[in-house]
Chains A and B, each alone.
Chain A
């Protein structure tokens, strides 16, 4: 069972995993002081993930000019993620947990898929210090954050951490 509480207000663990090129990264380093949208997905083979990640590839055009980051975690090996990422046209970072080091620590094991043993589809919007702003469970597709909810979350986090920007 997981040892961390993935609820609003709680800190998200500072994941240390290889990225889509195989370089070791940390979540806090990738956040880089900016708000972060963090997604756990089953993998490249899942039609739901293909659909959802195409949406993320569209909204990255907004993230890229709004000082906000996107990270996707799956159990796919780095080289598979690199190919999937290229096919999506994504410019954000993928974390590979092919060794499934964080699955149980986070209590995000998807138990119905005994073939791939993947992550439970879920999403978290995080403050730069990795505190959770909002958590989403997306096992049933409609539980995932819509692009509009992501915009609202990024706005709320930015308003909280950058009052001098005077967002209204």
Chain B
């Protein structure tokens, strides 16, 4: 649980679930994706595998570049169909995949995250609309799955900021 809500999500190769004790591999997603009203019958392009070994450090150039591509052209390409996007964190260091959620599956063949782990199209009612990340930041905040998180405000925390990762 984070200040913005639950971030746990399970993927069994065919379905996504946020249920406690759900089946499949467990990831952390951007909690904002589950914080609002869910969009019904959305399409999720899940670029992840169920095997625990399928992970890469977030800092590898390939993972960095997929995030840059998401900011540069992937999200603009999706246009109004875009609902939300989140990477799937395995832990504070490792990337396990990404999910792009849309109202139509038209452009999933172009998904830059599918270069890292292959994509599976899943119909889902789990995700809510989140404004796309503004960029150019590709770093993460306190281990929250990109593009989620933010540094605590000076006023709110009594301190100047959070811990960069």
Contact = CB atoms under 8 A, between A and B. Distances in A.
Interface of A: 19-23, 25, 29-30, 32-34, 60-61, 63-71, 82, 85-86, 89-93, 128-129, 161-165
Contacts, number: 89
Interface in B114-137: 131-132, 134-137
A44 B73 CA distance: 18
Contact of B131 (A25, A85, A91): A25
- The contact size tier of chain B is 20 to 34
A122 B145 CA distance: 35
A34 B68 contact: no
A61 B137 CA distance: 9
B61 interface: no
A55 to B, nearest CB: 14
A61 B141 CA distance: 17
Contact of B160 (A20, A22, A161): A161
Interface stretch (B34-42, B103-111, B150-158): B150-158
Contacts of B82: 21
Given A86-B72, A161-B160, A63 B131 contact: no
Given A33-B150, A89-B72, A164 B160 contact: yes
A141 B11 CA distance: 53
B138 interface: yes
Given A23-B132, A71-B134, A92-B135, A82 B76 contact: yes
Contacts of B131: 23, 25, 29
